[in-house]
């Protein structure tokens, strides 16, 4: 049976991240997900095919129960329209979220902190003079506030996985209470849910039940606990980590040939 598994080097880090994310979405079969733009769309498309065929897809541009036959390029792509139960606009796409109906949100980002707060607005400097401006809040802030839980997908690098985000776009477990800006637990703000997992290019991180601090739950094959520690900007707990099952050749084949044959998403 050895040949059903892919070897390290047969796939890229981005592909490992997306395939592991698709597997992880098994946990959300039959649930309602609001999917963000970028690689979350790719992982969702793969998951629908392989692991969670009954997942109900919403995106913020107003489809209900989208069933795209081809991988959408963006959340506005008409590939999401064809086959949907309903096609309206952004209000109708986001109001299920603000009504509290969305079971999970699935987003990317540029920076994540140990409480699962995500930044997709700027890195370095100040909002008024950023070293690097990013894509902005988009729906990511709304998903963090309103979804029952969130899954974040992002490359694992020291400058991305940090103690504290430069700008808090998507609220995680510890959020800012204004006008003072002090950090409080999200429950204190009356916000439901909280982040479920951070899936990176190196492993799957979960959040401690009590402290709500991120720890390593699964490590991808070929990655060591030290690799994760060295790529994380805070002292991350790796003591609970176990190794994830290797990628299947079949998963890589489907991702490359059926999901993104033109490599629109530049995963390879």
Partner 1 sequence: MQKYFFDKHKSNKENKLVSLKEAISTINDGDVLFLGSFVDTRRPMAAAYEIVRQAKKGLILLAECSLAEDILVGNGCAIAWRGCYTGMATFGLSPATLRKIEKREFFPDEIGHIDIILGSMAAMVGSPFVATSATLGSDVVNEEYSRNEYLKNAAGNPEMIPHQKFVLMEDPFYGKGTIKLQPAMPADVAIIHVQQAGEKGTARIFGSLGFDHYFVHGARRVILTAEQVLPEEYLRRDPNRNQIPCTAVDMVVEVPWGGHPSQVQNFYDIDIPFIKEYVSSAKTEDGFASWIEEWVINLDCRDKYLDKLGAGRIQGLRTLPPYGYRQRFR
Query: Taking a C-beta distance cutoff of 8 angstroms, is the pair 122, 167 a contact?
Result: yes
- When binding is defined by CB under 8 A, the residue of 169, 196, 232, 246 that contacts partner 1 is 169
Binders of partner 1 among 112-151, rule CB under 8 A? 121, 127-139, 141-142, 144-146
Residue 265 in the binding site for partner 1 (CB under 8 A): yes
- Do you know the residue count of the chain? 268
Query: Taking a C-beta distance cutoff of 8 angstroms, is the pair 169, 111 a contact?
Result: no
**Interface pattern 171-210 for partner 1 (x via CB under 8 A):** x---xxxxx-x----x--xxx-------------------
The tokens of 215 are what?
Answer: 């720890």
167 vs 220 by CB, closer to partner 1: 167
The residue whose two tokens read 């490590």 is 219
Query: Taking a C-beta distance cutoff of 8 angstroms, is the pair 107, 58 a contact?
Result: no
The tokens of 148 are what?
Answer: 């029952």
- When binding is defined by CB under 8 A, the residue of 29, 70, 101, 227 that contacts partner 1 is 70
Residue 212 in the binding site for partner 1 (CB under 8 A): no
Residue 167 in the binding site for partner 1 (CB under 8 A): yes
Q: Which residues are CB-neighbours of 226 under 8 A, at least 6 positions away?
A: none
Sign of the dihedral through C-alpha 76, 82, 88, 91:
negative
Residue 91 in the binding site for partner 1 (CB under 8 A): yes
80 vs 214 by CB, closer to partner 1: 80
Q: Residue 103's Cα: distance from chain center in Å?
A: 14
| Catalytic residue ranges | 60
Q: Which chain residues interact with partner 1 by CB under 8 A?
A: 37-38, 60-63, 69-70, 73-82, 87-91, 93-94, 97-98, 121, 127-139, 141-142, 144-146, 167-171, 175-179, 181, 186, 189-191, 261-262, 264-265
């Amino acid at each position: 049976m050895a040949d059903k598994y892919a070897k390290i080097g047969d796939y890229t880090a981005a592909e490992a991240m997306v395939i592991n994310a698709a597997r992880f979405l098994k946990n959300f079969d039959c649930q309602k997900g609001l999917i963000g733009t970028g690689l979350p769309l790719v992982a969702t498309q793969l998951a629908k095919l392989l692991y969670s065929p009954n997942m109900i897809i919403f995106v913020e541009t107003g489809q209900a129960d989208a069933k795209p036959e081809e991988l959408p390029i963006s959340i506005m792509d008409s590939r999401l329209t064809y086959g949907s139960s309903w096609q309206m606009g952004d209000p109708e796409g986001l109001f299920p979220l603000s009504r509290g109906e969305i079971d999970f949100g699935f987003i990317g980002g540029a920076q994540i902190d140990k409480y699962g707060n995500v930044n997709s607005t700027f890195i370095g400097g100040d909002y008024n003079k950023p070293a690097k401006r990013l894509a902005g809040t988009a729906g990511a802030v709304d998903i963090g506030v309103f979804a029952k839980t969130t899954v974040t997908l992002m490359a694992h690098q020291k400058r991305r996985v940090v103690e504290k985000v430069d700008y808090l776009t998507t609220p995680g477990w510890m959020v800012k209470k204004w006008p003072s800006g002090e950090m409080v637990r999200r429950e204190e703000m009356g916000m439901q849910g909280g982040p479920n997992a951070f899936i990176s290019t190196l492993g799957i991180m979960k959040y401690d039940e009590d402290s709500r601090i991120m720890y390593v739950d699964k490590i991808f094959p070929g990655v060591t606990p030290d690799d994760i520690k060295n790529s994380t900007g805070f002292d991350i707990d790796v003591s609970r980590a176990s190794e994830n099952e290797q990628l299947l050749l079949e998963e890589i084949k489907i991702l490359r040939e059926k999901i993104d044959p033109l490599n629109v998403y530049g995963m390879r």
